[in-house]
Amino acid sequence: MRYIIRIILLVCLPLLSINGVYSQDFIKESNFTKEVDIGIVEKLGNTIPLDLTFNNENGESVSLRQIINKPTILMFVYFDCPNLCSPLMDGVADMLSKLDMTIGKDFNVITISFNTKDTPEKAKEKKVNFVQKISKENQKYWAYLTGTQEHIDSITAAVGYKFKSQGLDFAHPSAIMILSPTGKITRYLYGLTFLPFDVKMAIIEAQKGITRPTSSRVLEYCFAYNPSSKTYTLQVTRIVGILMLFVLLTGIVVLIFRKKAK
């Protein structure tokens, strides 16, 4: 037993010195409900304000209540984004082409620009680039919306989507939200690409109004957003620390069982 305790101390003490007190850093940063300047503060179970109105890609004024009449995939972008937005929309389009569910029948998709300078004309132009993998008769069920600052602030606040203006561009997270037919937030999925199975299950759960915590939020602990380069960077020291802890725990279990076997 003394031998095991020595191993724990030898491994854990260096870990505590990585980036300060490692355990405290983990506790602080793993609080998924903390306020952030750029990122997402999950509002699972909340209902978005469905009476908010936006202009669709055809210049028509529509309310969210008119569009959200079945499970809905919601995402936020801005149309001149040089980095994350186009890959996000392309990732969603690719996922939709592989999903064994039908857009317009089983679910809808909404893309909202958080840049008030974006227009319906620009939305229509952008939409054409990403709906080609969807049948023409179903493309109308992927709405591209633009709106006023007041309504943009209301909807982003309702889902906990935090972005910040940086010159002509914006620093922002990359994710999609799944809504129930009544506008209830049931799931957050993070990243630029999405597995069809994950989205299918999220849509089925949204139809039933079931909320599910986001296990993939652990990825946010491994990646950090760099506002200057507008990219996500891998946090090597964090991952190494986690791997070391995993190896440590595995070693302890093996030593305990070997001792008992002897």
pLDDT digits (tens, 9 = 90+) for 137-189: 999 999 999 999 999 999 999 999 999 999 889 999 999 999 999 999 999 99
Task: Look at residue 255 in the predicted model and tell me its pLDDT.
Answer: 82
Same domain for 92 and 159, yes or no, is yes
99 located within any domain:
yes
224 located within any domain:
no
Q: What is the pLDDT of residues 15-43, one digit of tens each?
A: 433 333 333 333 333 344 566 789 999 99
Domain of 25, in residue numbers: 2-32+232-261
The whole-angstrom separation of Cα 178 and Cα 188 is 6
Same domain for 8 and 101, yes or no, is no
Task: Look at residue 125 in the predicted model and tell me its pLDDT.
Answer: 96
Q: Give kind and range of the element (H or E) at residue 109.
A: strand 108-113
Same domain for 18 and 134, yes or no, is no
For the chain, the domain total comes to 2
Same domain for 158 and 242, yes or no, is no
220 located within any domain:
no
Q: What percent of the chain has pLDDT over 70?
A: 75
Residue 192 is encoded by which pair of tokens? 């630029």
219 located within any domain:
no
Same domain for 149 and 197, yes or no, is yes
Tokens 């006023």, located at residue: 148
Same domain for 119 and 16, yes or no, is no
Q: What is the pLDDT of residues 217-262, one digit of tens each?
A: 444 444 444 545 544 455 556 566 777 888 888 888 888 888 777 6
Task: Look at residue 256 in the predicted model and tell me its pLDDT.
Answer: 83
101 located within any domain:
yes
222 located within any domain:
no
